[in-house]
Amino acid sequence: MKTIAILLMLACSQWGYAKDAVSNPLNQLMNSHFDAKNGSQNSEPVIKDASQSKYVLVLFFSNKCPHCVQFAPVVKQFIDTNHWNIEAISLNGETMPEFPNATFATQEMIDVAYLGKPVVYPALFIANSNTKALYPVSFGELGKQELEDRMKLIMAKIGEYEGSHS
């Protein structure tokens, strides 16, 4: 579980968004509001047995943020249902009941995740532990169905993107 945090701390200069991050459709998608009508309503997990996947969710939060407090149970339910691994990173050094083992954010982690942009939270990313690519999922809270729909769409886009760049 702490692999991502350790990698962020020890190899922060190697971490970052995938190549061509600014023009990457994943980032453009993240910055626009996802239209749930275009998403799949399939009830299948996003990745079957994601616990064995090279992908890990990374959540930046503050327990003092009401949006983070509302989003935490949604993320927790998602990871439990879909068997995802998560690295919860606290921006204020405090934990939340859903993520009692959260790591305290270092400046290097913040720099890598936000790339000099304003720090907005909650922020959810997908990290590829093999390539060290970091894909944004959400800046701000999402509802349960919106998170499910967005993850299905983004994982499909990541598969296309990484398949064409391997």
Those residues with Cβ within 8 angstroms of residue 92's Cβ, 6 or more apart along the chain or in another chain: 62, 63, 64
pLDDT for the residue 14: 34
Computed from CA positions of residues 155, 158, 163, 166, in that sequence, does the dihedral angle turn out positive or negative? negative
> What CATH number is associated with residue 30?
3.40.30.10
- Number of structural domains (the chain) is 1
Using DSSP's 3-state secondary structure scheme, residue 84 falls into: coil
d(CA 18, CA 112): 12
Domain with 158, as residue range(s), is: 3-164
d(CA 125, CA 113): 8
Q: What is the pLDDT along the chain (166 residues), one digit of tens a residue?
A: 344 443 343 333 333 333 333 333 333 434 432 333 333 333 344 444 555 689 999 999 999 999 999 999 999 999 999 999 999 999 999 999 999 999 999 999 999 999 999 999 999 999 999 888 999 999 999 999 999 999 999 999 999 998 887 6
Those residues with Cβ within 8 angstroms of residue 84's Cβ, 6 or more apart along the chain or in another chain: 46, 47, 50, 51, 53, 55, 56, 57, 78
Distance of alpha carbon 118 from its chain centroid, rounded?
17
pLDDT for the residue 28: 40
Using DSSP's 3-state secondary structure scheme, residue 103 falls into: strand
